[in-house]
Structure 1
Amino acid sequence: MSDGAMTIVLYVLVLILPLSALAARRLPMGDAIKMALAWVAIFGVLLIVVTLWQGATTSA
C-alpha cells in the first residue's frame, strides 16, 4: 500500500474508536448529533482564532 492509502486507513480507524464508544453508550440520535455539532463548532472557533492569531503575528 502507498502512504496515502495507509493514512486513509489510519484516519478511518481513528474515527471508529469514538464512534464505537458513542454507540456503546446508546445515546439517543438527537443528543449524539447535538454533541457532534457542538464539538465541530468548538474546533471551528479554535481554528479561526489560531488562523487570525497567526495572521496577526506574521504581518507585524
Structure 2
Amino acid sequence: MNDRAHVLYYLLWLVFPISALAARRIPMKDSFKMALAWLAIFGVLFILVSLWQEATGAGGALGGLFQ
C-alpha cells in the first residue's frame, strides 16, 4: 500500500466513531467533554508506561524527558 492508501484507510476508520456520535445526536458540549476525558486517560496511561519503562531500564517513549 502506498502512503495515500494508508491515509485513506485511517480517515475511513475515523469516520466510524464520528458517524456513530452524529447518529446519536449527542450535544457538541458533551462530546467535547468526553473527548477531553479520553485524551486525559490515554495521556496519563502513556506517562505511567513511559515512567515504568524508564524505571525498568527498557527505555521510555518520552526519550529522557524526565531526567
What TM-score, normalized by structure 2, do the two folds share? 0.77
Moved over 3 A (4+): none
Match of 2:50 in 1: 51
* Count of aligned pairs between the two proteins: 58
Q: Which amino acid in 2 is paired with 1:34?
A: K
Gaps of at least 5 residues in structure 1 are: none
Q: CA RMSD in A?
A: 1.4
- Report SS of the residue matched to 1:49: helix
Percent identical pairs in the alignment equals 59
CA deviation profile, 1:13-39 (whole Å, cap 9, x unmatched)? 111111110000001110000001100
Gaps of at least 5 residues in structure 2 are: 59-67
What TM-score, normalized by structure 1, do the two folds share? 0.85
